[in-house]
Amino acid sequence: MVIKKQNDIPSSEITDEKLYFNRRNFLKTAAVAAAGATAYTLFSKKNSSAFAQDNNSWKPANPSKFDTTETLTPYKDVTTYNNFYEFGVDKSDPSENAWRLTTTPWTVEVDGNVKKPAIYHLEDFVKPYKLEDRIYRMRCVEGWSMVIPWLGFPLSDIIKRAEPTAAAKFVAFQTLYRPNEMMGQQNNVLQWPYVEGLRMDEAMNPLTILAVGLYGKTLPKQDGAPLRLVVPWKYGFKGIKSIVKISFVGNQPPTSWNRYAPNEYGFYSNVNPNVDHPRWSQARERRIGEFFKRPTLMFNGYGDQVASMYSGMDLRKYF
């Protein structure tokens, strides 16, 4: 069901000293996690249960032309080594605490400078689109990386469906705000709810997807269930999780980490080995599961598909 709107309704993930002390306060109030709740099934039985949860036996059901052939990061690592500050600042906190999150029912609001604003139930939001397995390199600003087989569809499909007007220059995203379930939101680690944004051409790029799963299965709660953004040429904190609102706006929208520390986390957040974080180099990265570091690739290795969008831009200024 689609509930039409009334006409008048208009990362990085580094644990610095401030966040460490916030975490101490967080631990005082967090309960010990019990057994996790069973995830709801969003898509077909074929996609949700057909594949083993490891990188040895899993094969993509619907391969994408954008897939990398690099070795996949094991499912266990992908689902237990996460940044999702709404559930805590340690890498293990999301997998231990995200069971509290209620993901059904779920609605996604689409508003702003569009001809077709609406509030969608998640099933109706996703149903029109063919899901693809997108095997992407993912790079975190902290210097670690993974290769993850996402299950999702192009963000451009949603944009075309909403029919943005000429006034829409950016796409803004907002995460669920529910402190009773997302206990990290009870602390001032960041300004809540989490928000992110893309320039319109970035949002329309065919690499940019909305993910509803990984490894052929429903997206785990600690990885951003039930709906998250994936932009593989940008640092991981751009991949906003548990999305409830997508807005088409005329001006550059605020983003959570840029708002937290604008000198450290820029709006564009493109993977760029030539632009260091003020406190460490971005020139090398460590793939989870590997001992030695490897050189960081410009645009995370997706330069052929995305570099033209930044032609003429000073990428040290617009980092």
Query: What is the Cα gyration radius of the chain?
Result: 19
36 Cβ partners below 8 Å, 6+ apart? 98, 99, 221
pTM assigned to the model: 0.84
Instruction: Label residue 2 exposed, middle or buried (CB < 10 Å: 0-12, 13-18, 19+).
Output: exposed
- Banded pLDDT at 42 (limits 50, 70, 90): very low
Q: Is pLDDT at 268 greater than 70 in this prediction? A: yes
Q: If you classify domain 15-29+37-267 with CATH, what class do you get?
A: alpha beta
Phi, psi of 20 (to 5 degrees): -60, -45
β-pairing verdict for 217-218 and 209-214: antiparallel
CA distances to 49, 94, 141, 146 from 53, rounded to whole Å, are 9, 19, 26, 16
Tokens matching residue 124: 């109706």
Tens of pLDDT, residue by residue over 271-281, are 999 999 999 99
Q: How confident is the model at residue 55 (pLDDT cuts 50, 70, 90)?
A: confident
Residue with token string 């966040």? 19
Q: Give residue limits of the domains in the chain.
A: 15-29+37-267
Classify strands 243-249 and 107-112 as parallel, antiparallel or unpaired.
Answer: parallel
The helix (H) or strand (E) run that includes residue 213 is: strand 209-214
Mean pLDDT, the chain, whole residue set: 87
Q: Of all residues in the chain, what percent carry a pLDDT higher than 90?
A: 82
* 3-state secondary structure at position 152: strand
**Number of C-alpha atoms within 13 angstroms, CB side, residue 65?**
3
Q: What's the pLDDT tens digit per position in 88-116?
A: 999 999 999 999 999 999 999 999 999 99
Identify the pLDDT of residue 14: 38
Query: Within 10 Å of residue 44's Cβ, how many Cβ atoms?
Result: 11
The pLDDT score that the predictor gives to residue 13 is 35
Q: 88 in helix, strand or coil?
A: coil
What average pLDDT does the segment 26-50 reach? 34
